[in-house]
Amino acid sequence: MSQDPYELLGVGRDADADTIKKAYRRLARQLHPDVNPDPESQERFKQVTAAYEVLSDPDKRAAYDRGGDPFGGGFGGQGAGFSFTDIMDAFFGGNAGAAGGGRGPRPRVRRGQDALIRIEVELAEAAFGVSRELKVDTAVRCTTCGGEGAAPGSHPVPCETCRGAGEVAHVQRSFLGEIRTLRPCAACRGFGSVIPDPCRECAGDGRVRSRRTLTVKIPAGVDNGTRVQLSEQGEVGPGGGPAGDLYVEIHVAPHEVFERHGNDLHCTVSVPMTAAALGTTITLPTLEADLDPGEESGVETSFELQIPSGTQSGHQVVLRGRGVPGLRGGRGDLAVTIGVDTPARLDPRQEELLRELAAIRGEERPTGDVRPTHKSMFGRLRDAFTAH
Ligand SMILES: [Zn+2]
Ligand SMILES: [Zn+2]
């Protein structure tokens, strides 16, 4: 009979660890003495196991590949260091160690689940924070039984079927002998105790549904999808167990002027052609104005924006620190894009003036300034970063 461990396991010399393990498991299932008691199978089982011991150990395998004697003086039965778990794995496909391990009764009192509610806030509320009253509908501890689940004056009693263990033993006969496994007790559903007289308010669950009003503080800087966590305001657990957390998910309503990009705000302001040419000052509302702070608060509700003479349509002005406060401090910018309105209806006098202006500027027959689109875009970006 071959002494080559690769041949014994029927794998190639380049087989990886997984292939070797699978080959061994397959052979072990055929040859294990409990399955196949004839002496020849027992001898092959020893050889195959010894071969696996060599090939599953990178050092021993490398030594054999270099030409060493893999078995250190012949087959000596199962070598030391060969783990029993591997044999059990061969039969049960892993996790042999976990089979049948007792866990004891499962607790009646468990932590509750987290809850999630969504609320819509205005952009200014998201930016500067707000307090909101919320109606939340969650499980709360039953006040009738205090969460115990037993009618007043009674208590849970130990389960007679499993004597409080929560588990009962099942014995199965197999080729390996008797296999004893523990299963949850059906009489007490694994709790180890039963409630002979359940609370009528909560039907023994220890909790009831209730609608509460909570005040939640939304911190400054939240955005769409931000979740504010309120510890232990979620669902109370079974048996009146500690409540999970409540998550308040923020949805920010669209604003009629400002569009939010991260912590920056964007808006567009249109000015007449003449104002863009001559320069002007316009008044812009601040986001703080939405909070209606009142005159004495000192909060700036508007500010002046200088439009320099010769401003082009599409020019962007970036105002540092007039955006949305960040959740971790700092504040974004406000980017104002200037649009230039070209007069659409001219009376005879206006037309006359414009024609005169065109004549003075030599613009009666303009040829147009043709250039690639991307170049003008870069121009705008450059303008945006150099302003202020
Ligand atoms: Zn109750
Ligand atoms: Zn039981």
Q: pLDDT by residue (tens digit) across 16-68? A: 988 998 888 888 888 877 767 777 888 888 888 888 888 888 888 888 888 76
Q: How far is the CA of 164 from the centre of ligand 2 (A)?
A: 6
* Of 62, 201, 95, 227, the residue nearest 142 (C-alpha): 201
In the prediction, which pLDDT does 98 show? 36
Q: Return the ligand number nearest the Cα of 161.
A: 2
Among the bound ligands, name the one nearest to the CA of residue 160.
2
pLDDT of residue 69: 64
What mean pLDDT do residues 203-217 have?
95
**Rg of the chain, C-alpha, whole Å:** 40
DSSP 199-264: -TTTTTSSEEEEEEEEEEEEPTT--TT-EEEETT-SPPBGGGBPP--EEEEEEEPPPSS-EEETTE
The ligand with the least distance to the CA atom of 198 is 1
Contact yes or no for 381/335 (Cβ under 8 A): no
Between 90 and 69, where is the model more confident?
69
Alpha carbon distance 155, 159 (integer Å): 12
- Minimum-distance ligand to the CA of 106? 2
Distance 178 CA to ligand 2 centre (A): 23
Residue 300 has pLDDT above 80, yes or no: yes
CA of 106 to the centre of ligand 2 (A): 10
Residue 167 CA, ligand 2 centroid: distance in Å: 6
**Mean pLDDT over each residue of the chain, to the nearest integer:** 85
Taking alpha carbons only, the member of 99, 54, 49, 111 closest to residue 237 is 111
| Whole-Å CA distances, 13 to 1, 17, 54, 73 | 18, 11, 13, 22
The SS3 call for residue 386 is: helix
Ligand 1 centre to CA of 235 (Å) is 15
CA of 218 from ligand 2 middle (Å) equals: 47
CA quadruple 84, 90, 96, 99: dihedral sign: negative
> Per-residue pLDDT for 318 more than 50?
yes
State in Å: Cα 105 to ligand 2 middle: 8
Ligand closest to 201 (CA) is 1
> Can you list the positions of beta strands (E) in 33-185?
115-121, 130-141, 157-158, 167-174, 177-184
**Residue 158 Cα to ligand 2 middle (Å):** 8
Ligand at minimal distance from the CA of 167 is 2
Q: Which ligand is nearest to the CA of 207?
A: 1
Q: What is the pLDDT of residue 31?
A: 81
pLDDT, mean of residues 182-201: 93
pTM for this predicted structure: 0.61
Q: What is the pLDDT of residues 131-175, one digit of tens each?
A: 999 999 999 999 999 999 999 999 999 999 999 999 998 888 877
Of the candidates 332, 314, 312, the one whose C-alpha atom is nearest the C-alpha of residue 322 is: 332
Instruction: Give the per-residue pLDDT at 84.
Output: 44
Residue 28 alpha carbon to ligand 1 centre in Å: 56
pLDDT at 378: 53
For residue 233, the CA-to-ligand 1 centroid distance in Å is 19
Residue 298 confidence (pLDDT): 78
Return d(Cα 136, Cα 210) in angstroms, integer.
8
Question: What is the Å distance from ligand 2's center to 163 Cα?
Answer: 6
Mean pLDDT over residues 306-323, rounded? 94
**Spatial separation of the C-alpha atoms in residues 177 and 180, rounded to whole Å:** 10
C-alpha of residue 184 to centroid of ligand 1, in Å: 25
Nearest to 333, CA basis, from 229, 236, 250, 261: 261
Could you tell me which residues are beta bridge partners of residue 319? 334
| Mean pLDDT to the nearest integer, 201-221 | 95
Position 364 pLDDT exceeds 60: yes
Nearest to 268 by CA among 320, 305, 300: 305
Question: Residue 70: its pLDDT value, please?
Answer: 55
CA angle 107–109–112, rounded 5-degree value: 120
Asked if the model's pLDDT at residue 351 lies above 50, the reply is: yes
Distance 198 CA to ligand 1 centre (A): 8
Q: What's the pLDDT score for residue 102? A: 55
CA of 165 relative to ligand 1 center, distance in Å: 24
Query: 196: CA distance to ligand 1 center in Å?
Result: 13
378-387 pLDDT tens trace: 555 555 555 4
Q: Residue 319: pLDDT above 50? A: yes
* 366 Cβ neighbours under 8 A, 6+ residues apart: none
Q: Which ligand is nearest to the CA of 158?
A: 2
Rounded distance from Cα 147 to ligand 1 centre (Å): 6
State the pLDDT confidence band at 341, using cuts at 50, 70 and 90: very high
pLDDT at 356 over 90: yes
